[in-house]
Structure 1
Amino acid sequence: MHMSALDNTKIHNDDISLGLLLETLAAASELPLVFHYDGRPIKAGYHVTEVKAGQFAGLDCGANPEAWTEIFVQLWDVEEDSRAHMPAGKFSGIIGKVSDHLQLAQSAKLTFEVSDGVRPMQLYCASLPRLRDNAVHVELAPRPASCKPRDRWLAEEGRASAACCAPVSSKSACCA
């Protein structure tokens, strides 16, 4: 397997969708899949303990209606005797089996829930699957809170930073 086997040109340094992760993993299905979080790799015996799909609707802090689909993949970070990291194809197969039952939207926001069974579960987003050391490595970054009106304004303005609930147009939105 060469470095060019994984097409990272479609992957950005922020959240990736379920479909994009699975599409990327398909290029290296036989290789071990190693997630990294909190500055370390997940243990070789990790399990995918649950996959959930949710349809969400709400109002953001600027009173704008929001609706989205989100997929939660729960990882249990445990060591088991003589187990190696799960192959990327096995992970994709687990998700595929769940998708058959739940009709998972490939464009859905992807969230990882990770715990070692002792520490509380933490939320992460996935970014940049990379091939190195004959394995596929996926960095999980803590999922921060965000202000959607501010995020939309920043995207429109192309600005790097602004105060929470910055103007969406000529008027200001206000955090409640």
Structure 2
Amino acid sequence: MLTLDKMEFSQTDISLGALLTALDERPEMPLVFHYAGRPIRAGYHITEVKAGQFSALDCGANPEAWSEIFVQLWDIDEDQRTHMRASKFTAIIRKVSEHVGLDSSAKLTFEVSDGVQPMQLFSADFPYVEGQAIRVDLGPRPASCKPRDRWLAEQQAPVAACCGPSTKSSCCA
């Protein structure tokens, strides 16, 4: 069983499956997304859930392919509503999955707008309990250069392999 403890998990770009599994732990708690320094309003709606399969060339002419799920949130106050329960959010997503076939390991992107401001794209951190609600922090989804990201990961890999807990080498001395 996962725990919705802020100290134990601090992860960005959570997958759809990991989010649903975490929310299943506390289905009756209100689900509150936080973005742009504030909580989403209590009347928010899930207006659309989209699944996409993407094929592209990155800026280094390398082929890329990935699955992505987009959850669109409409940030409004309406009819004295309270924040939806985690169980309602998961039920909506699972109903969409029955019809669309969502990949639970897909990259998850939230699209948020109040209907006036342009839609903004966000990635989600792992949810955690804050007070009497489940909080999910949404952070801006920045552009990136995949060849550069791969190069940076490769630069860090030798240090991790050399200095990892299973190494018997003294290369880190």
What TM-score, normalized by structure 1, do the two folds share?
Answer: 0.84
Q: Which amino acid aligns with 2:100?
A: L
Partner residue, 2:137? 139
Q: Over aligned residues, Cα RMSD in angstroms?
A: 1.8
In 1: Cα distance, 2:26 partner to 2:148 partner:
38
Question: Which aligned runs of 4 or more in structure 1 are off by greater than 2 angstroms?
Answer: 4-13
Give unmatched runs, 5+ long, in structure 1: 160-176
In 2: Cα distance, 1:64 partner to 1:91 partner:
37
In 1: Cα distance, 2:10 partner to 2:151 partner:
20
Do the aligned partners of 1:8 and 1:24 also contact (CA within 8 Å) in 2? Answer: no
Alignment of 1:32-51 (within 5 A): 32-51=30-49
Do the aligned partners of 2:3 and 2:22 also contact (CA within 8 Å) in 1? Answer: no
SS of the residue 1:58 aligns to:
strand
In 2: Cα distance, 1:21 partner to 1:63 partner:
33
Cα offsets for 1:17-45 (capped at 9, x unmatched):
11111111110111000000000000000
Following superposition, the deviation at residue 12 of structure 1 comes to: 4.4
Work out the percentage of aligned pairs sharing the same amino acid. Answer: 65
Q: Are the structure 2 counterparts of residues 95 and 10 from structure 1 closer, same or farther at C-alpha, using a change threshold of 3 Å? A: farther
Give unmatched runs, 5+ long, in structure 2: 158-173
In 1: Cα distance, 2:150 partner to 2:11 partner:
18
Q: Which amino acid aligns with 2:57?
A: L
Partner residue, 1:121? 119
Partner residue, 1:149? 147
Partner residue, 2:19? 21
> Which structure has the greater CA radius of gyration?
2
Partner residue, 2:70? 72
Counterpart selection for 1:102 from 94, 100, 103: 100
Following superposition, the deviation at residue 13 of structure 1 comes to: 2.6
Following superposition, the deviation at residue 81 of structure 1 comes to: 2.2
Partner residue, 1:6? 4
Following superposition, the deviation at residue 7 of structure 1 comes to: 6.2
Q: Which amino acid aligns with 1:92?
A: T
Partner residue, 1:166? none
Do the aligned partners of 1:51 and 1:95 also contact (CA within 8 Å) in 2? Answer: yes
In 2: Cα distance, 1:143 partner to 1:14 partner:
10
In the alignment of these two chains, the number of paired residues is 156
What TM-score, normalized by structure 2, do the two folds share?
Answer: 0.85
